[in-house]
Amino acid sequence: MVQSHVLDRFAPAFVVVNREGNVVFYSNRTGKYLESPSGPPSQQILAVARKGLRLDIRSALQETVENRATARRERVAVEFEDRVQLVDITIEPVGENTNDPLFIIMFADVGSAMDAEESLHGGARGDADEVVAQLERELRETRERLQSVIEEYETALEELKSTNEELVSVNEELQSTNEELETSKEEMHSVNEELHHVNLALNTKVDELDRANGDLQNLFDSTEIAALFLDRKLVIRNFTPTVAKLFKLIPADCGRLLTDFAINLEPNLIREDVQTALDTGRAVKRNVSRDDGRQHFLIRTVPYLSGRGAPEEVLVTLVDVTDLINAEHQRTLIEELNHRVKNMLTVVIALARQTFAHADDGAATLIRAFVGRIEGLSRSYDLISRVSWGDVSLDNIVRESVQAHSPPERFSISGSPILLKPKAALALGLILHELATNAVKYGSLSGDAGQVAINWQVEGLDGKRQLALFWQELGRAGVAKKAADGFGTKLIRREVEYELNGDVTLDYAEHGLSAIMRIPLNKMLVNTAGNGGGM
């Protein structure tokens, strides 16, 4: 406390500034030497110092900053409240900080304050020599200040001249740079236009690629192609949705080995095909079956040519041929069955004929009728077997059944295209055989001038449509009605009513038989969607 009191009482007033002259600390009793300037507040020591102190503080501070040594200015006159006070100014560096040094400026009064007249003449008590010495000292200091100012001015002028030259050089460089920038701007504009065109072309290509990818994806989805992309190590690169359904794959499985999945196919065979395709550069085909034997595939392994040299990947396509194989098996079985049935019918006919050779007249007649019906049935069966028990044209059934009994020119056949199921085809074949046999024996075909007109059409509205088949014998009068109540008539009625669920009208007129058969368009009997044609 005593030390603080003594410092406040007897220590000189001082301020601490940095190398730019900004005040960072004020001590007590600095009001005699500093004053607040008008305008915005300032921390610059040269702005707040009183007029008589500014030049000395400026030169002393510059000297201390340059030399890092103490600078003094003695007996500097400063006006304060209409009086003049002589002040000694001491400036010293503070501390050892070289990055941001600080400096202390101390003010010490010399004597007591005087009025202006007294300071000019050295006071009433001062003699002439002292006044002269003071004036000479002030003149010398003024000259030194003037010389310092002149040197600073010359230095500043040189620096200004050098700066001006640098500015001229910089201006020329800037002008050159500006010209280069203009050229670069034009080049950038040209490049920007080219990039714009390239971007448009790229957008067009991207749109085309998107459309191509969309078309390819839609193609894969619509055709259900099972395609699998593998490398030589059987690593999955990509696959189509059909493969995902077959082998339970998900998109995250790309990058995994195909052997990691239970696909129920022999992986060694696939590995051999992949290696063979990569080594030879040719496609490899193989038929394989799943472990349970219920599904069959045609596997085709093709090298994936990317245009980067030797192929390193393959495209494996799997085609489900189960239906084809089953159909082939079924076709083989049907052919075998047809062959056996034909052989059996041939054997029956041969046995009947051998029996007919040793029978009496009554038995022979029955055997001939039986053989005829077997032969008619055989012809219908042969026609159906040629289409693998598919739909048969009604026109073909009619012609095949009747033209074996008489020349074709004696028949007039016409009607709309109708396809019959095998059951209906066999029944109609047997019916037409009976009608033709009766016509040859007892009807219009028993004479030379008789003919038979056979035609058919579809009658009725939707929901109750039926096939109407007309048999009309023409061209001979006085034909007997011997067959009216025979076995053939009963056979015709039974086939129409029970096998075809239809009805039949038989009229034994003098000129020959007239028959009308109406058969419902049952999907089990007639294919209404077909348009039968010749075989």
pLDDT of residue 531: 44
Stated pTM of the model: 0.39
Please write the tens of the pLDDT for every residue from 207-253.
Answer: 999 998 888 778 777 767 777 788 877 788 887 777 777 777 787 87
Point out the least confidently predicted range of 147-156, 186-195, 300-309, 455-464. 300-309
> Is 383:392 a contact under the CB 8 Å cutoff?
yes
Please say if the pLDDT value at position 292 is more than 80.
no
- d(C-alpha 303, C-alpha 230), whole Å: 10
Architecture in CATH for domain 10-126: 2-Layer Sandwich (3.30)
Please write the tens of the pLDDT for every residue from 382-420.
Answer: 666 666 667 788 888 888 777 777 787 888 889 888 888
- Supply angle C-alpha 397, 399, 403, rounded to 5: 130
Q: What pLDDT band is residue 480 in, cutting at 50, 70 and 90?
A: very low
Asked if domains 10-126 and 224-320 share a fold, the reply is yes
**Tokens at residue 504, please?**
């039949």
| H or E stretch covering 79 | strand 71-80
At the fourth CATH level, which superfamily is domain 390-535?
A: Histidine kinase-like ATPase, C-terminal domain (3.30.565.10)
DSSP label at residue 388 = T
Please write the tens of the pLDDT for every residue from 70-107.
Answer: 888 888 888 877 788 888 899 999 877 777 889 999 99
> Is 89:73 a contact under the CB 8 Å cutoff?
yes
Architecture in CATH for domain 224-320: 2-Layer Sandwich (3.30)
Q: Which residues contact 58 (CB under 8 A, 6 or more apart)?
A: 46
- d(C-alpha 219, C-alpha 241), whole Å: 11
Mean pLDDT of the chain: 77
What SS3 state is found at 9?
helix
- d(C-alpha 90, C-alpha 15), whole Å: 11
Please say if the pLDDT value at position 378 is more than 60.
yes
**Tokens at residue 233, please?**
């190590």
- d(C-alpha 288, C-alpha 317), whole Å: 12
- d(C-alpha 144, C-alpha 140), whole Å: 6
Q: Residue 528's Cα: distance from chain center in Å? A: 46
- Supply angle C-alpha 2, 6, 11, rounded to 5: 150
For the chain, which residues make up each domain, given as ranges? 10-126, 224-320, 331-387, 390-535
**Tokens at residue 214, please?**
């969309």
